[in-house]
Amino acid sequence: MIGYVFGPGSELIEFGVVLPEISIEKVEFVDSEIIATVRNTGPIAVDIVMADINDRIYPAAIEPDKHLERFESAVVRIPFEWNEGEPYAVGLT
């Protein structure tokens, strides 16, 4: 039985749904804008649809494209009037 589970029957123990995963590699605060460099670190392609700062959705420009293949990176530009010294939580979905 153990030989079957680790041999030809190994497909039976692989279950679940593969989820997309992106990593925010760098965040820059420039004049009236937050710039985030992101990379798709998951096993499947992903589309970046929204950007949020402190749990509020903001419009964002994604360069070169919102569709990221595996290990592809993009720059997300979020127009935002930020204040120096205040903490901000940046999220992407």
- Burial of 11-30, coded b for 16+ CB within 10 Å and e otherwise, reads eeeeeeeeebebeeeeeeee
CA 3 to chain centre: 39
Per-residue pLDDT at 8 exceeds 90: no
Q: What pTM was computed for the model?
A: 0.79
Identify residue 4 by its one-letter amino acid code: Y
> What tens digit of pLDDT does each residue of 43-71 get?
999 999 999 999 999 999 999 999 999 99
**CA dihedral of 43, 49, 51, 56, whole degrees rounded to 10:** -120
